[in-house]
């Protein structure tokens, strides 16, 4: 019996492609005074990137074509390792798309819709790529693999429970409602899903780092005289490098655009938890000064009012009264900062405009 060791690697240009794509993503985080400067750097780096990797993209089709047989083009069957490398390349491109859409979302609100669509596709490709790489191996380190995977699942479940409770406590403070009331709101689960996706990516990276480094496959080939055993090792860097870079870039993107992303999630989900009017003084009422205001019934005669203000939202306690104007609003100070002063100044300005017009 002859034992041979074979290591399968991808072309080194793959790492250059990933580095350029992530450099292109980071170019939008440069703190220039004007957004046009960031876009200028982005397009400059983008043009250079296209010149460098454009050849490989244009001629990518030829790599998988075999010679023509009687005028019929045949394609080589891709291995699970090749598919996982290709999917991680797509993850790098989707990371760039998410960063660009988030950057544009500061000026065009509809761009955030595409950012979250790309995020879902990104997470799907990320998960499939990791699984395809692991499934490509045989029973090598089977016991260790099961132990690591089960530890990862336990960590994921524990952290998911903690994330759910943190999400509920945050919404409780913002809306000034009880734990049981907050647990039924769609806003809670929207934040929970986004945070769990980030947690799942982190856990998959941490759990699979050991497996990606030490995994392999044993292939036995027998002929008439003796048996050959090939121990195949796969290069894990084309999987690990984009996984780590993508995770770091998305975290940095959220840190830079936390208010924008939180407002987008809240805007998309608040309509499921609230209505356009409230009932006080024997009739349904609206706030004419605040178009798009939403109201959530907490108990009889008690509401939570959410008022749009400069791309964000502010929450109020709204209590019904017997005398005109039949309701009273009090600002919910969820954080001890200057937001309360800003909203009060804005309200005073609106009131003065109404008085002057009358």
Spatial separation of the C-alpha atoms in residues 174 and 176, rounded to whole Å: 6
Q: How far apart are CA 327 and CA 278, in angstroms?
A: 10
- From 4, 18, 83, 22, select the one nearest 237 (Cα to Cα): 18
| pLDDT tens, residue by residue, 78-89 | 577 788 888 888
pLDDT of residue 52: 57
CA angle 330, 336, 341 (to 5 degrees): 60
CA dihedral 88, 94, 100, 106 (to 10 degrees): -120
Query: Rounded CA gap, 173 and 182, in Å?
Result: 10
* pLDDT at residue 121, rounded to an integer: 92
pTM for this predicted structure? 0.73
Instruction: Report d(CA 158, CA 128) in Å as an integer.
Output: 23
Tokens 């072309």 -> residue: 11
Among 148, 233, 248, residue whose Cα is nearest residue 198: 248
Q: In Å, how far from its chain's centre is CA 42? A: 21
d(CA 150, CA 154): 6
Distances (CA, A) of 98 to 22, 102, 186, 289, 295: 12, 6, 24, 35, 32
- Write out the chain in H/E/C secondary structure: CEEEEEEECCCCHHHHHHHHHHHHHHHHHCCCCCHHHHHHHHHHHHHHHHHHHHHHHHCHHHHCECCCECCECCECCCCHHHHHHHHHHHHHHHHHHHHHHHHHHCCCCCHHHHHHHHHHHHHHHHHHHHHHHHHCCCCCCHHHHHHHHHHHHHHHHHHHHHHHHHHHHHHHHHHCCCHHHHCCCHHHHHHHHHHHHHHHHHHHHHHHHHHHHHCEEEEEEECCCCEEEEEEEECCHHHHHHHHHHHHHHHHHHHHCHHHHHHHHHHHHHHHHCECCEEECCEEECCCCCCCCEEEEEECCEEEEEEEECCEEEEEEEEECCCCCCEEEEECCCCCCCHHHHHHHHHHHHHHHHHHHC
pLDDT in tens, 34-67: 666 666 666 666 666 665 555 454 444 444 444 4
How far apart CA 86 and CA 214 sit, in angstroms, is 21
CA angle, 112 as apex, 44 and 345 as ends, to 5°?
105
Strand order in the sheet with 216-222: 2-8, 227-234, 216-222
Residues lower than pLDDT 50 in the chain: 1-2, 55, 57-76, 336-338
| C-alpha span between 131 and 236 (Å, rounded) | 13
In this prediction, residue 70 carries a pLDDT of 47
């Amino acid at each position: 019996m002859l034992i041979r060791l074979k290591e399968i690697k991808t072309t080194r240009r793959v790492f250059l492609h990933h580095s350029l794509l992530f450099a292109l993503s980071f170019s939008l985080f440069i703190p220039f005074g004007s957004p046009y400067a960031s876009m200028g750097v982005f397009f400059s780096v983008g043009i250079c990137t296209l010149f460098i990797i454009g050849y490989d993209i244009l001629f990518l089709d030829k790599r998988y074509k075999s010679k023509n047989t009687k005028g019929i083009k045949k394609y080589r069957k891709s291995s699970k390792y090749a598919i996982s490398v290709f999917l991680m390349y797509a993850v790098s491109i989707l990371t760039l798309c998410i960063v660009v859409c988030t950057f544009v979302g500061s000026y065009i609100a509809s761009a955030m819709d595409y950012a979250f669509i790309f995020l879902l596709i990104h997470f799907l490709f990320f998960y499939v790529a990791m699984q395809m790489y692991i499934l490509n191996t045989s029973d090598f380190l089977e016991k260790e693999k099961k132990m690591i995977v089960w530890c990862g699942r336990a960590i994921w479940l524990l952290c998911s429970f903690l994330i759910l409770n943190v999400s509920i406590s945050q919404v409780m403070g913002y809306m000034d409602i009880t734990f049981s009331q907050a647990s039924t709101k769609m806003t809670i689960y929207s934040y929970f899903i986004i945070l769990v996706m980030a947690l799942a990516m982190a856990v998959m990276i941490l759990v699979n780092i050991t497996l990606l480094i030490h995994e392999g496959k044993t292939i036995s080939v027998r002929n008439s005289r003796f048996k050959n055993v090939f121990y195949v090792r796969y290069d894990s860097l084309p999987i690990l490098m984009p996984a780590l870079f993508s995770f770091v870039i998305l975290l940095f993107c959220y840190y830079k655009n936390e208010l924008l992303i939180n407002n987008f999630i809240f805007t998309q989900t608040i309509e499921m938890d609230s209505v356009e009017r409230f009932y006080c003084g024997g009739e349904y009422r609206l706030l004419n000064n605040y178009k798009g205001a939403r109201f959530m019934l907490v108990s009889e005669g008690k509401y939570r009012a959410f008022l749009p203000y400069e791309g964000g939202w502010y929450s109020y306690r709204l209590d019904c009264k017997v005398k005109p104007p039949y309701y009273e609003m009090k600002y919910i100070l969820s954080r001890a900062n200057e937001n309360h002063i800003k909203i009060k100044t804005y309200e005073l300005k609106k009131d003065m405009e109404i008085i002057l017009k009358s």
